[in-house]
Amino acid sequence: MADIDKKYSGIWIFAEQLEGKLASVSLELIGEAKKLAYKLNVQVSAVLIGDEVETIIPTLIHYGADTVYIIDDPVFHFYRAETYKSAFCYLVEKYNPEILLMGATTTGRDLAGAVATTLKTGLTADCTALDIDMEEKILLASRPAFGGNIMATIVCEGHRPQMATVHPNVMKKPIPEPNRTGLVIRETFSIEEESLKTIVLKIVKDIAENAKLEDAKIIVSGGRGIQNEHGVTLLNELAAILGGVTAGSRGAVEKSLIDHKRQVGQTGQTVSPKLYFAIGISGAIQHIVGLQGSETIVAINTDPECPMMKIATYSIVGDALTILPKLIVAFKQSLSEITNLDFKNVNHDMKGVITVE
Amino acid sequence: MHILVCVKQVPDTTEIKMDPITNTMDRSSATTIINPYDAHAVEEAVKIIKQYGGKVSIISMGPPKAEEVIKKCIETGADEGYLLSDRVFAGSDTLSTSYIIAMGIKKIMEIEPIDLVFCGKQAIDGDTAQVGPGIACRLGIPQLTYVEAIETFDLKKNVVVLHRKIDNGYEVVQSKLPCLITVEKDINELSFSPLTNMIKAARFTPVTWGFNDLSGDLIHLGLKGSPTCVRRIFPPKQRAGGELLKGSEDEVVKMLVDKLKGGIRKWQI
C-alpha cells in the first residue's frame, strides 16, 4: 500500500462540458474535491477535454482548481466514450492521481465505467457523500443502496485511482474567487477520426423540461393522494400562482397523472428547491432521497403518521383535493398584494416565471 | 442477426424491508424479479429480430435460481439462454462482474458471432450502470448507454443509428456493429407473451457454465477480484421533523400562507 500511496497523488475532477458549456456538477465536484484535498494535503486538478474549450479554464480555476489539464482537439467536439476514455486514461497513466471524481450524469457515468474498466480500478457510482479515512488516507464513498433503503460506504483499498461518480445537485458549489490563479497543462492527444467506430450525428435538446425541475426554486409535487386529473389541475394551478413547477412521486407517475420526466426520487430527479410541496405523497424512501436537499418542505396528507409528514417543515393533515383550492385562493390573494407593490419593473429570464414590466 | 441480452435477477427494491438493527436486507421479504430495464432490453431484441430475422440469446450471472429470469426472457421470445453460476463468482463487484460476463460472451462468440449486445441501463438493486460499459470495454466494442430509441439498422454498412439520452435532451449516434447498447425504459412498451412462448419457457433449461467452463483467471473473480468493498452500511439520514399545523382547514391554510409568503416573494425573483 505504501508504494501505491507514493506513486499516486492529488484529486482530479472531470470538467464535463457540452459544446463549450460546463456542466454545473463539475463545479460542485471542485468544491467537494477541495474539502477532501484539504484533509489529504494535496492539490485539486480539473481535466478538460473538448474542442475549443480554452474559455472554460478560468472558471475552473476561479472555483478552486489548482491545475487544469486540457486536451483540445476537433475529434473531441462531442463526447464519445471511445475518444474520451482514451484521452482520459492517457492523462491518468501519465500523472497518477489518487482520486478521480466525475458527475453522475449520463456522460460522467458512461465515461467512468469505461475508464475504471480500462484502468482495472474500483468505481463507486452515484455517491451522495464523500469523506477521507484519516488513518488510511483513503476515500470513503457513500451512496444509497437497495433503492435508497440503506446507505453504504464503499472503499477501494488496493487500487488507484479511487474512482467515484457524484450525484448532481447534492454537493454545494464553492464561491468563485476571480483573482485565483492556477497552472494550465496543455496536452496533445490525437486520434484519427477514420479509426473510430462511433459518430455523433446531432444533438437534440429538450425544451428544458428537466432542467427546469432541477433548477426550480419552488416545486409543487403530487402523489397518489392527488387522485385524478382534477387533482393535477389544482397542482398546476398552485404551481403557476407560486411561480413554481409541477412534479410528482412514483405513485403519481404510475397512475399516469404526472409525466415520468417530472418524477422526483431515486429513479427520477434529485431536486433542491427552496420550497417543496409534497401533496398526497406518503414519502417512500425512494422519493425522499430525491428531495432531501429542499430548504422548506410542506406536506399535506390524510395520514399524519406517514414518513413525509414526519420530515416536513410544515405539515397539514387533510385531503389534498379540498385543501388545494383553499390554498390557491389564499396564495392568490396574498401574493397579488405583493405583486402590485413590488413586482413593477422586475425582469428575469428564468423560464416558467412571468416577467412583469 | 444474433443479439445477446445480459439480464440480472434482482430483489424487488420497492418491496424490500430492512432490519433496522443489523441494517441488512430481510431477504425473506423480498421477491425476485427480472431487472425492469433488462426486460425492456429483451423486448427490444425480440422486436428487432422479428423485423430483421435472426435470434436472441440471453446471458445471466447469479445463483442457480437466476434460471427463473432466463425462462422469463424465453417467454418474451428469446431463443437461447446461458447462466453463469459458480460459488467463486460470489461477492464480485462491477469490475469483476464485467470480467465474468465478458468471459461468458466470448465463449458464446466461439459458438456463433454476436452482432449486438443489449443490457438494461442499470440494475435496480445496485443502480451503478457500470457493468454494461465494463463488458463493452472488455470486448473492445463501442458502448452506447442510455439508449431511448433505435432509428435504423443498415446491415449492408453494418451500422446502427440510435438516440442516446443525455442530460437535457438526446444525441443521435451512429455506431459500427458489433456494439453494446444499454436501454432506457422509454425504448418500448412491454408486450404480453404469447401462449406458445410460455409453454416453451416452462420446459426450458438454460446452458449453465461454471468457472471451469470459462477460460478465466481466479484472481479476477469474486471478492479477490473486486477492488471495491463495502466498509459500512447505515440507515439514511432523516431530516428533523417540523411543525404540524393544527386547526380548521381555513385556519391551517392561512397559517401556512403567512409562514411562506415572505419567502415565496423572495424566491420568485
- DSSP string for residues in B30-67: PPEEE-HHHHHHHHHHHHHHHHH--EEEEEEESSGGGH
Q: Identify whether A352 is part of a domain.
A: no
Domain count for chain B, please give it.
1
The reply to whether residue B227 touches residue A23, judged by beta carbons under 8 angstroms, is no
Return the closest-CA partner of residue A293 out of A173, A124, A158: A173
**Binary contact (B170, A155; C-beta < 8 A):** no
Same domain? A6 vs A153: yes
pLDDT at position A357 over 50? no
CA pair distance A66, A289, nearest whole angstrom: 33
The whole-angstrom separation of Cα B90 and Cα B86 is 7
Q: Given a cut of 50, is residue A355 above it in pLDDT?
A: no
Last residue of a domain, one of A171, A195, A219: A195
CATH number of the domain at A293, please.
Answer: 3.40.50.1220
Note whether residue A85 is domain-resident: yes
What percent of chain B has a predicted confidence (pLDDT) above 90? 79
Dihedral sign computed on CA atoms, order A266, A268, A274, A279:
negative
Mean pLDDT of A42-54: 98
pLDDT digits (tens, 9 = 90+) for B78-117: 999 999 999 999 999 999 999 999 999 999 999 999 999 9
Is the pLDDT at A277 greater than 90? The verdict is yes
Whether residue B91 lies inside any domain: the answer is yes
Percent of chain A's residues with pLDDT above 90: 72
pLDDT band at A340 (very low <50, low <70, confident <90, very high): very low
Whether residue B154 lies inside any domain: the answer is yes
Alpha helices in chain A (DSSP H): 2-7, 24-40, 57-62, 81-95, 106-119, 209-215, 229-242, 250-254, 285-288, 307-311, 320-342
What pTM was estimated for this model as a whole? 0.86
User: Is the separation of the CB atoms in A59 and A13 below 8 Å?
Assistant: no
Confidence of residue A354 (pLDDT cuts 50, 70, 90): very low
Q: Rounded distance, CA A234 to CA A240, Å? A: 10
**Is residue A129 scored above 90 in pLDDT?**
yes
**Interface residue of A24, A83, A109 to substitute, partner B, most B CBs within 10 Å:** A109
pLDDT value of position A254? 84
Is B265 a member of any domain? no
Chain B residues within 8 A of A201 when measuring between CB atoms: 161, 171-174
Q: Which domain holds residue B140?
A: 2-220
Residues A171 and A231 in one domain: no
| Best of A16, A25, A106 to mutate (most B CBs within 10 Å, chain B) | A106
- What cell was used for A129? 457523500
Residues A154 and A270 in one domain: no
Q: Is position B255 within any domain?
A: no
Query: Residue B47's pLDDT is what?
Result: 97
Instruction: Look at residue A352 and tell me whether its pLDDT is greater than 50.
Output: no
Residue A49 clears pLDDT 60, i.e. is over it:
yes
The reply to whether A357 falls in a domain is: no
CATH number for position B152:
3.40.50.620
- Residue A88 · residue A49 · CB < 8 Å: yes
A30 and A149 both lie in a single domain: yes
What range defines the domain where residue A264 resides? 209-342
Q: Are residues A213 and A185 in the same domain?
A: no
Q: If pLDDT is split at 50, 70 and 90, which confidence band does B25 have?
A: low
**Average pLDDT score, chain A:** 89
Q: According to the model, what pLDDT value does residue A207 have?
A: 64
pLDDT one-digit tens code per residue, B66-77 = 999 999 999 999
User: What is the tens place of the pLDDT at every residue in A282-297?
Assistant: 988 878 888 888 889 9
Cβ <8 Å between A154 and B146: no
Do B171 and A203 lie within an 8 Å CB cutoff?
Answer: yes
Based on the fold, state whether residues A265 and A337 are members of the same structural domain. yes
Distance from CA of A326 to the nearest CA of B (A): 7
Between chain A and chain B, the number of residue pairs with CB atoms below 8 A apart is 269
Give CA separation, A237 vs A96, A246, A302, B250, in Å. 54, 9, 21, 19
Instruction: Please give the residue of chain A at the shortest CA–CA distance from B131.
Output: A113
- Are residues A175 and A215 located together in one domain of the fold? no
Instruction: Return residues 165-194 of B near A (CB < 8 Å).
Output: 165-176, 179
Q: What is the pLDDT of residue A338?
A: 52
Contact B245 A313 (CB under 8 A): no
Task: Name the average pLDDT for chain B.
Answer: 92
Residue A67 lies in a domain: yes
Longest alpha-carbon distance in chain B: 74
Asked if A208 has any chain B CB less than 8 Å from its own CB, the reply is yes
For residue A23, the tally of other CB atoms under 10 A from its CB is 20
Which of residues A195, A218, A252 is at a domain's end? A195
Pair (A183, A215) in one structural domain: no
The answer to whether A318 contacts B249, with C-beta atoms less than 8 Å apart, is yes
Which of B90, B21, B16, B121 is closest to A145 using CA atoms? B16
Q: State how many domains chain A has.
A: 2
The ipTM is 0.91
pLDDT in tens, A148-207: 778 899 999 999 999 999 998 889 899 999 999 999 999 999 899 999 999 999 999 876
Q: Which residue has better confidence, B238 or B170?
A: B170
